[in-house]
Amino acid sequence: MILGPYNAPLALASRPLMSLFWAVFAPTVAVYFLVGAVDAFTGNWASDQFRVGGDAPTRFILLSLAGFPVFVLMTLWSERIGAGPFGGPIRSSGDWIAIGAVTGPVVLNLSVALMASLFSDGDPNWAYRDSVDPALLQMDAVSLAMVAFVVLLTPLIEEVGFRGFGMGCLLARGWHPVLANIAAAAAFTAIHQAYTLPALVPVFIMGLYLGALRVISQSMAAPIAAHISANAVSMLVFAISVS
């Protein structure tokens, strides 16, 4: 792996379109492909799981089945072009992994608490758009598949995609780290379409923090640890709130 500024793999500099595809479009394409393939043999069974009233645990099983191959293909592509499996170095000096794991949930939950105090108006579901299936906000939705998808698979895909490929590509092309971080955080925020506008503010703040960890630590390990830890704590808070 040949590294440039801030340990960004130089191989990513010439691949902005593929970096964008993996970060923004690949997970959605994979879900549509899987649902279409399953529907071809079962009628509209898979599509029905994603409609209002569909079975939430089954939905997360399908999301995981679509997401896992995406992560594998991302890492294989990244390794093949010379950017390492995670779109950047995974080894981290010092205590950055521990710092990320401890501070990630703090940054996310403090920003969520602040926005909730300003915009929730007592509504426990203030963060979600009206189009979100209410079944996803109930205890019945909590399952092993949901935990695996939210806590492990999603952080890995999003960090490799946005902080690895996205920021890595921009940094390797000579972008200032602040601008690269803002661009990656904006794209990261844009894919979270289930949230209301006030709830997107913590997502953007978290995106900026994850990008800062990537730049300061010059490693992918810290933002991955922070994202997994933040989602794990959020998952726990959600499970307690709906129990």
Average confidence (pLDDT) over 182-203: 96
The pLDDT of residue 71 is above 90: yes
Q: Which pLDDT belongs to residue 81?
A: 96
Q: Which pLDDT belongs to residue 241?
A: 84
- State the sign of the Cα–Cα–Cα–Cα dihedral 76, 81, 84, 89: negative
Which pTM does this prediction carry? 0.94
Per-residue pLDDT tens for 11-56? Answer: 999 999 999 999 999 999 999 999 999 999 999 999 999 998 889 9
Residue partners of 60: CB distance under 8 A and separation at least 6: 141, 143, 145, 146, 148, 149, 150
Banded model confidence at residue 135, pLDDT cuts 50, 70, 90: confident
Contact 191, 154 (CB under 8 A): no
Return the domain boundaries, the chain. 8-242
Q: Which pLDDT belongs to residue 151?
A: 96
